């Protein structure tokens, strides 16, 4: 298993956000983490990366425990995180945004370079010298994914990559993630947009109130209207 999460608890102050979350991601697999607003999807990603300290539970990446490590160590092990708010360095140019995230190539993976990323996100190429703060939301989202790829991750933690984007951009984003999947990158994908997730994900995990309520293949979830109605639909 590439990523194994067991019995994971996390709190903000006194408020417990996650309780006993368990999920797996196999190499090359795309797993969708679904659930309504406030279910704990983003917190799960942040806790895996160490941005929110887990209060209980085990997180293993390639079999080695990573719970409690500093975020930069977890990132260096090959977990790439793309936050929901994108968090582009607005004072830095596109090129610089990519450069600050560059890490050493990883054995067996073709290293990412700006040139290779521009093939994946052609829009970025014309903007290399533009400050991150003067880009559209869609361009920023692409840059956020591209920037994380510069670290040559073995797995991506993608938080709502389709949120707030124009339909055309959503399609481009979907194509890019599909291409990454074909290259063998594992992805844990947080999504509210089921239509976006269903075309990419192999399996789905549904959270509600910080607990896992459903785990199954994407196909099974799409066949099960009752589960979707209970946990996903408004």
Q: Which of 9, 24, 96, 202 binds another protein (CB under 8 A)?
A: 96
Which positions from 21 through 50 interact with another protein, judged by CB under 8 A? 49
Other Cβ atoms within 10 Å of 57 Cβ, number = 18
Question: Which residue's CB is nearer to another protein, number 2 or number 232?
Answer: 2
Of the candidate spans 54-62, 87-95, 173-181, 226-234, the one that interacts with another protein by CB under 8 A turns out to be 87-95
Determine the Cα–Cα distance for residues 15 and 7; give it in Å rounded to an integer: 17
Question: Which residue's CB is nearer to another protein, number 81 or number 214?
Answer: 81
DSSP secondary structure letter of residue 131: B
Helix (H) or strand (E) holding 208: strand 203-208
- Regarding 141 and contact with another protein (CB under 8 A), the answer is no
Decide: residue 168, CB within 10 A, 0-12 exposed, 13-18 middle, 19+ buried. Answer: exposed
User: Taking a C-beta distance cutoff of 8 angstroms, is the pair 174, 166 a contact?
Assistant: no
Enter the tokens of residue 32. Answer: 């969708």
The counts of H helices and E strands in the chain are: 10, 10
Query: Residue 99 CB, nearest distance to another protein (Å)?
Result: 6
Of the candidate spans 67-75, 119-127, 169-177, 188-196, the one that interacts with another protein by CB under 8 A turns out to be 67-75
Query: Residue 160 CB, nearest distance to another protein (Å)?
Result: 16
Q: Which of 20, 27, 38, 87 binds another protein (CB under 8 A)?
A: 87
Q: Which of 10, 32, 66, 101 binds another protein (CB under 8 A)?
A: 101
Query: Residue 113 CB, nearest distance to another protein (Å)?
Result: 16
User: Taking a C-beta distance cutoff of 8 angstroms, is the pair 176, 146 a contact?
Assistant: no
Q: Which of 151, 162, 206, 210 binds another protein (CB under 8 A)?
A: 151
Query: Residue 148 CB, nearest distance to another protein (Å)?
Result: 7
Enter the tokens of residue 129. Answer: 């010298």
Q: At what angle do helices 137-149 and 167-182 cross, to 10 degrees?
A: 10
User: Taking a C-beta distance cutoff of 8 angstroms, is the pair 117, 146 a contact?
Assistant: yes
- Regarding 148 and contact with another protein (CB under 8 A), the answer is yes
Residues making contact with another protein (CB under 8 A): 12-15, 49, 51, 70-72, 75-76, 81, 83, 87, 89-92, 96, 99-101, 103, 147-148, 150-151
């Amino acid at each position: 298993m590439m990523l194994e999460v067991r019995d994971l608890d996390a709190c903000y102050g006194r408020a417990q956000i996650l309780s006993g979350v368990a999920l797996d991601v196999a190499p090359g697999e795309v797993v969708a983490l679904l659930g309504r607003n406030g279910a704990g999807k983003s917190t799960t990603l942040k806790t895996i990366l160490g941005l929110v300290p887990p209060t209980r539970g085990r997180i293993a990446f390639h079999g080695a425990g990573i719970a409690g490590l500093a975020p930069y160590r977890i990132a260096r092990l090959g977990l790439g995180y793309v936050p929901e708010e994108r968090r582009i360095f607005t004072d830095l140019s596109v090129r610089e945004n990519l450069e600050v995230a560059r890490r050493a190539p990883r054995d067996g993976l073709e290293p990412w370079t700006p040139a290779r990323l521009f093939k994946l996100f052609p829009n970025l190429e014309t903007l290399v010298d533009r400050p991150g703060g003067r880009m559209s939301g869609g361009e920023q989202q692409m840059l956020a994914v591209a920037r994380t790829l510069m670290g040559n991750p073995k797995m991506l933690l993608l938080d709502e990559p389709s949120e707030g984007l124009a339909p055309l951009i959503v399609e481009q984003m979907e194509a890019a993630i599909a291409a990454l999947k074909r290259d063998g990158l594992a992805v844990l994908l947080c999504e509210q947009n089921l239509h976006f997730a269903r075309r990419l994900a192999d399996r789905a995990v549904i959270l509600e109130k910080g607990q896992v309520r459903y785990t199954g293949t994407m196909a099974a979830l799409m066949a099960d209207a009752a589960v979707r109605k209970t946990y996903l639909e408004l």
